[in-house]
Structure 1
Amino acid sequence: MAEAAVRPALPADVGEIARIQSVTWQTGFAGILPPDVLAGFDVAAAAEQWRQTIEQGPATVFVATEGAWVVGFCGAGPSPESESAAANDTPVEDAATVALIGTILVEPRWGRRGHGGRLLTAATAAARAGGSTRGICWVPEQNKAMVGFFRRAGWVPDGVVRTLDAGGRPLREIRVTGSLDLRTT
């Protein structure tokens, strides 16, 4: 295996980030998202959104590399109060210090090589350095691999769920939460 690393994303990475998002959704979310939602994914629009995030924040985007290739990415930053709220939509006591892992994706052909763990470790270390005390992430309930990934890192479902409209079909997500001191390596 070539040398693997994680680094902050650069504006020059947006094309690869959007391509990886598209490929990962097409393969890993095929049974979760409706086919028309997947077919309608706009790589150019996604690249522009990632460019804005990289250049303006508030999230930090990290990329995983293996050798010369960008193989995955993660977006993380301070959680909006609405994302960390209790099930009854009331703010939680530690709302000001909750980090949100907005997305973490590794291109399937580069999977099972530790890239996801390295991305999560970098994101949580940055969140800790920024004053956060715990993290959250919304995960499609049907995505057992992603739920398992977070469980192995010590994050567990906290009982809060939400349902999104995925092209006219409900997409149920569970919120996982855990320490920013991870058990992954």
Structure 2
Amino acid sequence: MAEADVRVAGPDDAAEIARIQLTTWRTAYADVLPEDVLAGLDPFETESQWRHALTEGPASVLVATEGEWLVGFCAAGFAPEAETAAADGTAPADAATVALVSTLLVEPRWGRRGHGGRLLGAMAQRLSAEGATRGITWVPEADTASTGFYASVGWQPDGTVRTLDAGGRPLRELRLSGSLDLRFERS
């Protein structure tokens, strides 16, 4: 296997990040999101959004590389208070120190090579150094690959769910929560 690494993303990575996002969503979420939603994703708009996030956004973005290839990315930062609230709307005592992993994607052809774990591990270290005490993320309930990945580092559903409108079709997501002191286990 070629040398694998994780580094901070820069504006020049926006096009590859967008390509990876669209490729991964169209593959991994083909059974989760309506076909017309996936077909309607605009590569130029997605690249523009990532370029903006990389230059002006509040989140940190890391990219995984294998050899010369950019193969995945992770975006995370401190969670907005609304994201940390329990199902009844109450804020947890640690709301100010909860990090939100908003996106963690590895292009499917580069999967099962440790890139997701390296990305999440590097991001967890970065967030901990900034004062975060635990992490959360939202995962489509039907996405068993992602829930299994997060379970391998000790992140579990915390009982909070939300339903999004995915092109006129409800998309139920589970909120997973766990320590930033990650312990990777083989499943």
What is the TM-score of this pair, normalised by structure 2? 0.97
Aligned residue for 2:44?
Answer: 44
Please state whether the residue corresponding to 1:184 is helix, strand or coil: coil
Instruction: Kindly state the Cα deviation for residue 102 of structure 1 after the two structures are TM-superposed.
Output: 0.2
The answer as to 2:10 corresponding to 1:10 is yes
Please state whether the residue corresponding to 2:76 is helix, strand or coil: strand
Please state whether the residue corresponding to 1:182 is helix, strand or coil: coil
1:160 and 1:83 map into 2 onto residues whose CA distance is: 10
Please state whether the residue corresponding to 1:113 is helix, strand or coil: coil
The answer as to 2:103 corresponding to 1:103 is yes
Aligned residue for 1:136?
Answer: 136
Aligned residue for 1:123?
Answer: 123
Task: State the AA in 1 paired with 2:167.
Answer: G
Unaligned runs of 5+ in 2: none
The answer as to 2:65 corresponding to 1:65 is yes
Percent identity, aligned pairs only, is 63
Please state whether the residue corresponding to 1:87 is helix, strand or coil: coil
2:57 and 2:110 map into 1 onto residues whose CA distance is: 27
**1:22–1:41 contact (8 Å) kept in structure 2:** yes
2:168 and 2:124 map into 1 onto residues whose CA distance is: 34
Aligned residue for 1:181?
Answer: 181
Task: State the AA in 2 paired with 1:26.
Answer: R
The answer as to 2:34 corresponding to 1:34 is yes
Instruction: Kindly state the Cα deviation for residue 57 of structure 1 after the two structures are TM-superposed.
Output: 2.5
Task: State the AA in 2 paired with 1:106.
Answer: V
**1:121–1:184 contact (8 Å) kept in structure 2:** no
Aligned residue for 1:167?
Answer: 167
Q: How many residues align?
A: 185
1:126 and 1:53 map into 2 onto residues whose CA distance is: 18
Task: State the AA in 1 paired with 2:58.
Answer: P
What is the TM-score of this pair, normalised by structure 1? 0.98
Aligned residue for 1:25?
Answer: 25
1:93 and 1:57 map into 2 onto residues whose CA distance is: 26
1:43 and 1:90 map into 2 onto residues whose CA distance is: 38
Aligned residue for 2:54?
Answer: 54
Unaligned runs of 5+ in 1: none
1:49 and 1:89 map into 2 onto residues whose CA distance is: 30
Runs of 4+ in structure 1 deviating by more than 3 angstroms, as ranges, are none
Aligned residue for 1:78?
Answer: 78
1:115 and 1:54 map into 2 onto residues whose CA distance is: 20
